[in-house]
Amino acid sequence: MYVSQPDDRSGENGVHSFLTPERVVVYSVAMLVLYALFMVTWARASNGFTTGDFTKPGIDFSVFWSASYAALHGPAWQVYDFTSFDKIEETLFHFPRGSFLPWLYPPTFLVLVKPLALVPPVVAFFLFVGVSALLFVFATLAVSRLAPTMGSSRLGWLLVAACPCVFVPAVFGQNSLLTAALAALAVHWIGRHPVRAGLCIGLLAIKPQMALLLPFVLIAARAWRTFGVAALSASLFGAFSVMICGAQSLPLFLASTRLARELILEHGRHYWLSSPTTFAVLREGGVPLAPAYGAQACVALIAAAAACHIWRSTHDARLRGAALTVATLLANPYVWHYELAWLGIAVICLTAIGFDKGWRRGEQAVLVLAWLLPVYEFFNRLTELPQIGPVVLLLMLLLTLRRARIAEEVPS
């Protein structure tokens, strides 16, 4: 049963709590209403999502469904042939000329989405997004232990499901909810179920750049069994995928990554405005490639060192989860707004700690910024406001480091 707490309670050092469980529930409900209003407005402005000038919901998922259709009706490697895949997408979804969306994913993800075209696109979209969202909420609640601090598992589900980090990838039909859920489950299970944790990490081969820091934190935590299972399962999954998709799929995938780097990462202003990375900020500011890559590498080293320190110094899954997800976003130069589903895990973990142990100075303001960041990035292609993403992510990493230091000084 949910037990109400007074709105004026203070955290450590007498910090006033404007983020209380009751208020967060109200904010979550208000956000759900705003989502509904936004979708209705979008539908009306685009004549039921049929106007060619408007991006449709599920636009990225249409790439997944098209790839599934191509793999079910021909050699799977053809999805990497941009000319052939463009014709398939145009036939299936009638994209306007010049709006081709290429397949830029590894064979592992192609194997995973291959069954999607067995059902109609709309049904497949809601199944894919629905299952991914449910798994994300379940995994986030498990690693954060938010529900007990809220006094109700239903309120915990409401709070996580209403996060902007769920809405943005759901609108696009992206896979970031799935990858974030796998990361959260790995962190949750690493202590008691290392084999399960390793299998979850192995499945992140569907988007390998998001597993960039996991080997380092596993070594820091001396989680050798999980490390071994993860390496073995990822290798077997990769080999099986290449066997199913054909040997041609691997070099073609590598060629597509080069295309993504040159056209999107390095020279795509529409990407820079939507990417909360150091590299995007510098490129938008006119910094040449070499210094931008150098600065991104420095931030990546700092983030990796911070994550490894936290994983070595504490067994608290909430702090480990927050450190891993934030550091992963900071370390990668190629992060779209929908990947901020990973940031949602950190927000919920630190919120649960704040509810449980009281707030430290500055925490609540940073958490609100991080909570809203996916919406900011979502609209920034239109507004072209300054890119604040890296600053928010660095502040989140600092909050996590401070909480880890407090945990070292005052063991729970």
Under 8 Å between Cβ of 224 and 258: no
Residue-wise pLDDT tens digits, 385-409: 999 999 999 999 999 999 999 877 7
Residue-wise pLDDT tens digits, 53-65: 557 888 899 999 9
Under 8 Å between Cβ of 118 and 72: yes
In degrees to the nearest 10, what's the CA dihedral of 78, 80, 84, 86?
140
Residue-wise pLDDT tens digits, 297-321: 999 999 999 999 999 999 999 999 9
In a domain, 123, yes or no: yes
In a domain, 14, yes or no: no
Query: What's the pLDDT score for residue 411?
Result: 52
Positive or negative, the CA dihedral 397, 390, 33, 10 is: positive
In a domain, 190, yes or no: yes
| Burial class (CB within 10 angstroms; exposed 0-12, middle 13-18, buried 19+) of 409 | exposed
Q: What's the whole-number mean pLDDT along residues 79-93? A: 86
Residue 120: domain span = 19-46+57-95+102-404
Instruction: Check whether 122 has a pLDDT greater than 60.
Output: yes
For residue 410, name the pLDDT band (cuts at 50, 70, 90).
low
| pLDDT top residue among 258 and 187 | 187
Instruction: Tell me the pTM.
Output: 0.92
How many CB atoms are located within 10 Å of the residue 170 CB?
26
In a domain, 1, yes or no: no
In a domain, 51, yes or no: no
For residue 6, name the pLDDT band (cuts at 50, 70, 90).
very low
Q: 370 φ, ψ to 5°? A: -65, -35
d(CA 249, CA 255): 10
In a domain, 181, yes or no: yes
One-letter amino acid for residue 117 of the chain: A
In a domain, 366, yes or no: yes
Instruction: Check whether 383 has a pLDDT greater than 50.
Output: yes
In a domain, 13, yes or no: no
Q: How is 285-350 classified by DSSP, letter by letter?
A: TT--HHHHHHHHHHHHHHHHHHHHHHHHH---HHHHHHHHHHHHHHH-S---GGGGHHHHHHHHHH
Cα→Cα distances 76→239, 244, 249, Å: 15, 8, 8
In 3-state terms, what secondary structure has residue 151?
coil
- Number of separate domains in the chain: 1
How is residue 260 annotated by DSSP? I
**Which residues pair with residue 10 across a beta bridge?**
16
